[in-house]
């Protein structure tokens, strides 16, 4: 069964304004790492929020494992937003307990091991962490789940190059063949090496969905070069 299906998905924030998503159709299969790429305002974050049930589409629908977003889909989706979303007064250990309480697929031991590897003391209060460390903690929590679909919105935007390598390694080593990972990012060159497939979004529509290998063989260019060419200002 297709893991994710979007049918004629449309989202307009205000009447009269341009739609953030404009009749978007999309099918995603299992076992792939997919780059969701597009310029600012192309609808990447809106799409991810709708899949997570954080926004309601104006028209069309999204199906995860054949079901509309709901309690069942949330059991199988691990989501990393593009902002700090954890209660900043909590200690990291408390947040780990919180995830353990609510997600049956959360591996507490894996989370604590990764935090230790990153030299992050779980007794620290979340608000006391630097922006980069907060992002690392959030990624560790998300990747410590054994989800079917990981939705990572700008996972490497705010961290240094060394941390980026760690994050990409973490992504690669913590997903199964049954799962897919969608990475929304502007930093294409950094993630290109781990991507199986790319989706180009523009003005709320899919303009390209292709395997990375096909882009390289057909166009003789990298995904980064192709992106720059397609979205040249």
Partner 1 sequence: MLDKLIKHEFTALGRTLIVIHMVLVVVSLLTAGIGLLKPAGNFFSLLIVPAVTILYFVVVFGVGFITLFVVAQRFYTNLLGPEGYLMFTLPVSRRDLILAKFIPAMSWHMISTVLSIASVVIVALAWTDTSILAYQLLSGINELFSLGEVSTVLIVALIALTFAGSANYILMAYLSMALGQLANKGRIVLSVAIYFGIYMTLQFLGLIVVAIVALVAPASALEVQVVGGHAFTVIALAEPFDDQGLLALVLLGATALTLGASVAYFFITERLLDRRLNLL
CB of residue 75 to partner 1, shortest distance in Å: 5
Nearest-approach distance from CB 141 to partner 1, in angstroms: 9
**126 binds partner 1, rule: CB under 8 A:** no
What is the Cα–Cα distance from 61 to 101, expressed in whole angstroms?
A: 30
Binding status of residue 13 toward partner 1 by CB under 8 A: yes
Cβ neighbors of 215 (< 8 A, separation 6 or more) are 198, 221, 222, 223, 226
Closer to partner 1 at the Cβ: 82 or 202?
A: 82
- 117: its two tokens: 């590897």
Residue window 45-84: x/- pattern of binding to partner 1, with contact defined by CB under 8 A: ----x--xxxxx--------------xx-xx-x-x-x-xx
Which alpha helices (DSSP H) does 118-160 contain, by range? Answer: 131-143
Helix (H) or strand (E) segment spanning residue 225: helix 223-230
Closest Cα to residue 223, out of 177, 202, 192?
192
The footprint of partner 1 on this chain (CB under 8 A) covers a number of residues equal to 25
| Smallest gap from residue 218 Cβ to partner 1 (A) | 37
CA distance 79 to 149: 8
Return residues touching partner 1 (CB under 8 A). Answer: 13-14, 49, 52-56, 71-72, 74-75, 77, 79, 81, 83-87, 89, 98, 101-103
């Amino acid at each position: 069964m297709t893991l994710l299906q979007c049918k004629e998905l449309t989202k307009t924030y205000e009447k009269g304004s341009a739609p953030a998503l404009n009749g978007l159709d999309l099918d995603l299969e299992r076992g792939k790492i997919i780059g969701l790429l597009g310029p600012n305002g192309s609808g990447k974050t809106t799409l991810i929020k709708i899949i997570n049930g954080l926004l309601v589409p104006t028209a069309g629908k999204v199906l995860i494992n054949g079901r509309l977003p709901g309690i069942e889909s949330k059991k199988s989706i691990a989501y990393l937003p593009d902002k700090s979303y954890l209660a900043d007064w909590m200690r990291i250990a408390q947040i780990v307990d919180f995830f353990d309480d609510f997600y049956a697929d959360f591996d507490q031991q894996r989370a604590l091991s990764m935090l230790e590897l990153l030299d992050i003391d779980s007794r620290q209060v979340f608000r006391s962490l630097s922006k980069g460390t907060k992002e690392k903690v959030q990624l560790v929590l998300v990747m410590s789940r054994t989800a079917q679909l990981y939705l990572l919105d700008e996972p490497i935007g705010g961290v240094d190059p060394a941390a980026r390598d760690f994050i990409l390694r973490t992504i690669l080593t913590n997903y199964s063949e049954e799962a897919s990972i969608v990475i929304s990012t502007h930093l294409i060159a950094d993630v290109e090496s781990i991507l199986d497939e790319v989706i180009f979004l523009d003005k709320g529509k899919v303009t390209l969905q292709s395997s990375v290998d096909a882009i390289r063989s057909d166009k003789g260019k990298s995904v980064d070069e192709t992106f720059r060419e397609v979205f040249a200002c």
